[in-house]
Chain A
Amino acid sequence: MKNPYYPYDAEIIKVEELTPINRLFTFQIKDKAFKSKFKFRHGQFFILSVPGFGEAPFGFCSSPTIKDSFQASIDKRGGLTNKLFELKKGMAVGIRGPYGNGFDDVKIKTRNLVLVAGGCGLSPLRTVIQDASMNPGNFKKIQIFYGCRNPELLSFQKDYKAWSKNIEVNLTVDAPDNKWKDNVGVVTNLLTQEKIKSDSVAILVGPPIMYKFVVKKLLELGLKEEDIYVSLERRMHCGIGVCQHCALINGGYVCTDGPLFSYAEIKNVPEGI
């Protein structure tokens, strides 16, 4: 019987520092049979294993159209990620997955997209952003609304210019420095009647407090409950809907039914958002 917890051999082929606390890791799967089957969709995640330091789930952040390797941008936030930040190019890790429901591929390619990110939340949305930058003809209009505490923490800064060719990039920070010339304040302030078309599909990735305000604003702007998606973060161990760590009260698992939930699905789940 197949072992669902087996971490397949992979190698770190590149590490780039995106912010003082966030690095972009490029992984390449070494196990040939696993690699040939390994296909992920926008919005899915994988479980990274560093023997001795455990496992943790991370969202993919590179376009699924890139087959030879994949990326994740990871914050240094605890035991496993502290260790990961010590690892260098050429070192081995374990990978299992992909897991989760991911975005509805037809929906995101046939509708205008409003991507709202807070902090390290831009990372899982970058699968769509990168895909749309490489294959602009496959997508409709895409708008990014990205907020961070300060300019230093903005992820993927050197890519904004290239993205801007096909995508509208809106940035805001809470605490600007001397050089900052863009918006100041919470990301909700950027979402206005002039900017947002009410028939758009919105995907939100960020801290729970952001969801509360952004969902309210988007509903006011006329977006439908079933067109507003939030990505939930929970503790995970198994990734296959058994261990109960990511169970939602009254039903559903973030690992198998999520991590993406429409507001229509999640609004009545206690502690959902």
Chain B
Amino acid sequence: MNDKQLQDFVSYLIEKNYKVYSHKNVDNNVFIDEVKTGKNFKLCPQKPLHSFKSFFLAPCKKMMQFKGKEILLLRDPDVKSVLLGLHFYDMKALTLHAQVFKKDPYFQKKLRNMIIIGQSPIPEEDRSYEKFEKEILEHLKFDIFLEAKSTNDQKEFRIFTGSEDGQRLLDGFGYKDYENVEYEGPVPKKGLDQLHQALIEKVRKSRGSAIWKELGKKCIACGKCTIVCPTCFCFKFKDEIEKDKITRSREWDSCFYEDFSEIAGGHKFLDSTEDRIYNYYDHKFVRIPNEYRMVGCVSCGRCTEVCPAGISLPENIKRIMEEIK
């Protein structure tokens, strides 16, 4: 598919009453916005600062309302949307969330009504198509995937489909030159590679080490990393009393916030910044791999970009790999 055909395809989706969202770069601010027309549409190769996370997990999701003795479950309207241009690390995050929230009616409804169109150049280390398809695409949730030759060359795309919805849309548009990729579940059969297995063990062992003591002093526990992280999904419930009704919402929470682990009486199980930053890594590199057999970090780099204290996740991982025996 060439860039002109992609524009026509976007117009086709809008005609079919899909709300299309994609990210764009305005003065080096990359953010997600609604695409109103396919005319002049160009895929943005840079990643948006905020991932597509909030399309599935709203920062504040109103779940139910209490009116007297009645409980009204609040349902999202059936709006069909297209998320266009997810990078493969954001697709990975979505694939993880689809597992974490498999029994969550709010998340699942969003997922049902969403067409996911991914984009990516093949990562440097996976130059062979077969390997890319087998080891990455088969384990990602998507409907259509646009594979560009490189980030600088967005004129020609190889097209994959990952669902019947994706095939149906392309057929309807009149584009046949696609290959279907069968979803093989979120985890490759061989499980995590040796490098990640070693990392899990080392993060587990590293608790109490100098690395975390230093980070505990450096980190200001602002929680920005948890907000931009495409995989962070901690939440809390909150009730709000209005005039004639009470609304119970599910809000994003951050494990860096003081009250995250506080119980009645005031005891906090994550009592210091050192405890909290270790817990953040423990969740991504020990608990998520143990629970879902995939790593909880998708290597997007957002946490490092936004950290006001200059903490770098890749540097910390490098230190853990080198210093923990």
A1, B286: Cβ atoms closer than 8 Å: no
Question: Is B103's beta carbon under 8 Å from chain A?
Answer: yes
Q: Which of A4-12, A35-43, A141-149, A183-191 contacts B (4 or more CB under 8 A)?
A: A4-12
Chain B residue, CB-CB nearest to A244: B234
**Given A77-B265, A235-B263, A242-B100; A51-B239 close (CB under 8 Å):** yes
A245, B260: Cβ atoms closer than 8 Å: yes
A235-248 CB mask vs B (1 if < 8 Å, else 0) is 10110101111010
A4, B73: Cβ atoms closer than 8 Å: no
Bound state CA distance, A6 and B70, in angstroms?
12
B263, A51: Cβ atoms closer than 8 Å: no
A250, B287: Cβ atoms closer than 8 Å: yes
Interface size on B, residues (CB 8 A): 46
Give residues 280-294 of B contacting A (CB, 8 Å). Answer: 282-283, 286-287, 290-291
Give residues 243-262 of B contacting A (CB, 8 Å). Answer: 246, 248, 250, 253, 255, 260-262
- Residues of chain A lying within 8 A (CB to CB) of residue B261: 234-235, 245
Which of B238, B255, B263 contacts A54 (CB under 8 A)? B238
- Residues of chain B lying within 8 A (CB to CB) of residue A249: 207, 278-279, 282
A3, B69: Cβ atoms closer than 8 Å: no
Please report whether the interface of chain B is mostly helix, strand, loop or mixed according to DSSP: mixed
- Residues of chain A lying within 8 A (CB to CB) of residue B262: 235
Number of interchain pairs (Cβ within 8 Å): 100
Bound state CA distance, A240 and B235, in angstroms?
12
Question: Is B195's beta carbon under 8 Å from chain A?
Answer: no
Give residues 255-272 of A contacting B (CB, 8 Å). Answer: 270-271
Bound state CA distance, A9 and B66, in angstroms?
12
Bound state CA distance, A94 and B63, in angstroms?
15
Please report whether the interface of chain A is mostly helix, strand, loop or mixed according to DSSP: loop
CB B55 to nearest CB in A, in angstroms, measures 19
A3, B207: Cβ atoms closer than 8 Å: no
CB B85 to nearest CB in A, in angstroms, measures 28
Which of B207, B237, B278 contacts A5 (CB under 8 A)? B237
CB A160 to nearest CB in B, in angstroms, measures 26
CB A261 to nearest CB in B, in angstroms, measures 14
- Residues of chain A lying within 8 A (CB to CB) of residue B64: 3, 5-6
A251, B291: Cβ atoms closer than 8 Å: yes
B177-221 CB mask vs A (1 if < 8 Å, else 0) is 000000000000000000000000000100110000000000000
Which of B101, B246, B283 contacts A51 (CB under 8 A)? B246
Question: Is A34's beta carbon under 8 Å from chain B?
Answer: no
A245, B237: Cβ atoms closer than 8 Å: no
Question: Is A137's beta carbon under 8 Å from chain B?
Answer: no
Which of B100, B233, B236, B275 contacts A245 (CB under 8 A)? B236
CB A234 to nearest CB in B, in angstroms, measures 6
**Given A1-B105, A4-B104, A52-B66; A243-B253 close (CB under 8 Å):** yes
A244, B255: Cβ atoms closer than 8 Å: yes
Bound state CA distance, A33 and B262, in angstroms?
35
Can you pick out 25 interface pairs between chain A and chain B where the beta carbons lie within 8 Å of each other? A1-B108, A1-B109, A3-B63, A4-B103, A51-B66, A52-B66, A77-B264, A77-B265, A78-B264, A208-B267, A233-B263, A235-B261, A237-B237, A242-B104, A242-B233, A243-B234, A243-B235, A244-B233, A244-B234, A247-B279, A249-B282, A251-B287, A270-B208, A271-B269, A271-B275
Chain A interface (Cβ within 8 Å of chain B)? 1-7, 9, 51-56, 75, 77-78, 81, 92, 94, 208, 233-235, 237-238, 240, 242-245, 247, 249-251, 270-271
Taking A52-B239, A55-B237, A238-B235 as known contacts, 6 extra A-B pairs with beta carbons closer than 8 A to each other, sorted by chain A number, are A77-B265, A243-B234, A245-B260, A249-B278, A251-B286, A251-B287
